[in-house]
Amino acid sequence: MCGIVGYVGAKPCAPILIEGLKRLEYRGYDSAGLAVLNGQIQLRRSVGKLSNLEALLTESPLQGTTGVGHTRWATHGRPSESNAHPHIVQDVAVVHNGIFENHLELRKKLNNQGIQMASDTDTEIVAHLIHQARQESNLSLFDAVRKALGHIHGSYALAVVSSAEPQTIVIAK
């Protein structure tokens, strides 16, 4: 069972997201990551304990006041940095808890459109679907998430941010 946190407000969000993830640590996890908006999406992910992610943030800090964080418990794809959340497709970042049951069928469809996946997760698929919905129909992030989820079956929770809408976090379950 993973942990999901999000922050949108006036304060630097990285420390707030890390604190939120620490409070969810009891749920167990194999890797962790943050996406923070600062004109574009900045991503930091690491395998293992949150202290590894904190060390990465000390080396390479994140500025910005909107972001999402995640502790992952792998269901699809081994624990690794590339499978850790958030998953990003251009200006969209997604963190996800649960399983997209029709992920194989959707992956095949996206592959047939020439899309290469950067991870082995079911999660990355929804990031592509959200990005496609935004591109094809010029939808708001909220409407794009709603449209993308129309293609998904399963039991899940997710949080989504986009550098195109820096004051918004869309959540769904």
Pick from 16, 43, 56, 74 the residue near ligand GLU by CB under 6 A. 74
- Between 84 and 113, how does the x/- string for binding to ligand GLU read (CB under 6 A)? ------------xxxx--------------
- Between 108 and 147, how does the x/- string for binding to ligand GLU read (CB under 6 A)? -------------xxx------------------------
Smallest gap, in angstroms, from Cβ of residue 126 to ligand GLU? Answer: 10
Q: What is the DSSP letter of 25?
A: G
Tokens of 141: 């992030």
Measuring CA to CA, which residue among 48, 36, 109, 132 is closest to residue 84?
48
165 binds ligand GLU (CB under 6 A): no
Q: Which residue is nearest to ligand GLU (CB)?
A: 2
Q: 129: Cβ–Cβ under 8 A, 6 or more apart, which residues? A: 106, 147, 148, 151, 152
76 binds ligand GLU (CB under 6 A): yes
Measuring CA to CA, which residue among 22, 7, 31 is closest to residue 120?
31
For residue 119, which phi and psi values (nearest 5 degrees)? -140, 175
Smallest gap, in angstroms, from Cβ of residue 97 to ligand GLU? Answer: 4
In terms of C-beta density within 10 A (0-12 exposed, 13-18 middle, 19 or more buried), how is residue 49 classed?
middle
Place of tokens 């499978």: 83
* 12/98 with CB nearer ligand GLU: 98
| Binders in 11-70 for ligand GLU, by CB under 6 A | none
Tokens of 67: 């972001």
Pick from 38, 75, 102, 168 the residue near ligand GLU by CB under 6 A. 75
How big is the site for ligand GLU, counted in residues (CB under 6 A)?
A: 14
Name the residues that contact ligand GLU, by CB under 6 A.
2, 72-77, 96-99, 121-123
